[in-house]
Amino acid sequence: MQGLRQQIEEVAAAVRQRTDLAPRVGIILGSGLGGLADEIEGATAIPYGELPHLPQSTAVGHAGRLVLGELDGMPVVAMQGRFHLYEGRSASQSAMMVYVMKALGVRTLVVTNAAGGINPQYRVGDPMLLDDHINLMFRNPLVGVNDDELGPRFPDMSAPYDVRLGEAALAAARRENFVCHRGVYAGMLGPTYETRAEYRMLRRLGADAAGMSTVPEAIAAQHAALPCVAISTITNECSPDKLGETSGDEVVHAADAASGKVRAMVRAVLAAVG
């Protein structure tokens, strides 16, 4: 993490040159869920390439820009696309924008992603509120010399996802009358999808869904003392006994089709932040 704070400050300074908005909530939009950024009012959109130290987002369905404005009256900053480890980023690069968001004024983080359903009860289009995760990326954004200005050397990870805000998200599902699961997310390095044997392993380990993001960001949020809520959209069913081929385009299409559910949950979290 050595030298990271200077990069964070330089990115935040470059954003402030484009807008004087002080966001209270940060939103990381996953594959197929970037459309929520189009609903932000009075938006200032900044392509990642126009900010220092930020690489281009190469993942399918990621626009690669930062959007600042108001959503339901709440000042927000949204990442319309994230940085994945499978793109060749380090874990600290993948999570850096969490610290940038905090430097801009964010006090709550909402993370979304597309994930494969390991739990046999899950169906394509179902959202899942993350209750916990398993880090099978075997990467951690906090490796290296710790910067005490960013957070403690050994942050506790017994409860990485905020219970109160998670309940607000679940209440939205009940009001809108759609199924929302609560489960464990397995963070995988990617970019390959898992084998049948790996799906069996994940289920035995206690995972309900698997994806290639979110874990580094959740770790950084805990390190930075930012309450975090994370929501997956189940975009494919990962049954090892009847497994079909999966493509990135299919994942984006499935996430886009179910995005209305996640949007309702995100808005409920904004209302609960107050």
Q: What residue spans define the domains of the chain?
A: 4-9+25-132+155-235+248-273
Cβ neighbourhood burial of 244 (10 Å; 0-12, 13-18, 19+): exposed
pLDDT band of residue 35 (cuts 50, 70, 90) is: confident
E-strand stretches of 74-137: 74-80, 108-117, 127-135
**Percent residues over pLDDT 90 in the chain:** 80
What is the model's pLDDT at position 244? 64
Give the annotated binding-site residues. Answer: 31, 62, 82-84, 114, 194, 213, 236
What CA–CA distance (Å, rounded) separates 77 from 261? 20
Residue 141 has pLDDT above 60, yes or no: yes
Range with lowest mean pLDDT among 55-59, 121-125, 192-196:
55-59
What CA–CA distance (Å, rounded) separates 125 from 114? 10
3-state secondary structure of 210: strand
Query: 120: cis peptide before it, omega within 30°?
Result: no
What residue spans of the chain are helical by DSSP H? 4-16, 91-104, 163-176, 196-205, 215-223, 248-257, 259-273
More confident residue, 237 or 201: 201
Which is it for the CA torsion 51, 140, 101, 166, positive or negative? positive
Average of pLDDT values for 104-117?
96
∠38-221-225 over CA atoms, to 5°? 120
What is the model's pLDDT at position 245? 65
What secondary structure letter does DSSP report for 73? T
What is the model's pLDDT at position 101? 98
What is the model's pLDDT at position 254? 73
Tell me the whole-structure pTM to 2 decimals. 0.94
More confident residue, 1 or 208: 208
Average of pLDDT values for 37-50?
93
pLDDT band of residue 252 (cuts 50, 70, 90) is: confident
Residue 57 has pLDDT above 80, yes or no: no
Give the annotated binding-site residues for phosphate. Answer: 31, 62, 82-84, 114, 213
Burial 153-188, CB ≥16 within 10 A → b, else e: eebeeeebbbeebbebbbebbeeeebebbbbbbbbb
Alpha-carbon Rg for the chain in angstroms = 17
What is the model's pLDDT at position 256? 74
Burial 5-30, CB ≥16 within 10 A → b, else e: eebbeebbebbeeebebebbbbbbbb
Average of pLDDT values for 74-102?
95
What CA–CA distance (Å, rounded) separates 39 from 35? 7
pLDDT band of residue 94 (cuts 50, 70, 90) is: very high
Specify whether domain 4-9+25-132+155-235+248-273 bears CATH 3.40.50.1580: yes
What is the model's pLDDT at position 238? 86
What CA–CA distance (Å, rounded) separates 50 from 10? 12
Q: For 151-198, what is each residue's pLDDT tens digit? A: 999 999 999 999 999 999 999 999 999 999 999 999 999 999 999 999
Residue 170 φ then ψ, to 5° = -65, -35
3-state secondary structure of 178: coil
Region label for 125, one of left (φ > 0), alpha (ψ between -120 and 50) or beta (otherwise): left
Give the annotated binding-site residues for a purine D-ribonucleoside. Answer: 194, 236
pLDDT band of residue 98 (cuts 50, 70, 90) is: very high
